[in-house]
Structure 1
Amino acid sequence: MTYSSTLTSKNQTTLPKAVVHLLGATPSSILAYEILEDGKVLLTAKSATFKDIADTFPKKKATKPISIEDMKRAVAQGAAKRFKKAVK
């Protein structure tokens, strides 16, 4: 059987449902593409654990904790700006 899908300008595609089923793939499965000597590509799927994908999440820079007083001041300033806009 032959299945097809279209490649987008961002190099993305949707796997046909039958292919997903045959691979046993689930959301967050890791897809492996092996290029064979004859130019064919072998596609396999591996279910990912959180540990497998944890390093793919963007890293956040550590920030200095903000005090409750600073939060209240920021909320009050935001409310004042909105009030001024509403009055105009």
Structure 2
Amino acid sequence: MGIESKLTSKCQTTIPAEVREFLKIGAGDRIGYEFVEGKVVLVPKNRSALDLAGALYVPGRKPVSIEEMNEAIADAAAEKYERSRARR
């Protein structure tokens, strides 16, 4: 495994220096957490959206059009709605 840190009894952790340097974050900066393909990704909130261009690039994966993205979002929303109705 790569870089690690440990949770305290209050479920807090220190982000290792190598990660802070890579993300260009420091004391007082905000970070977000995103779930991407079964993993949690740290997203610095002190950067512009343009700084994140290519962050989700996966070699070999074909590009997806806006229309395909919208269709996938609509399908996922419909599926979630149907699952919620089935639980009633």
TM norm structure 2? 0.48
Q: Which has the larger radius of gyration?
A: 1
TM-score by length of 1: 0.48
Q: Which has the higher contact order (CA 8 A, sep 6+)?
A: 1
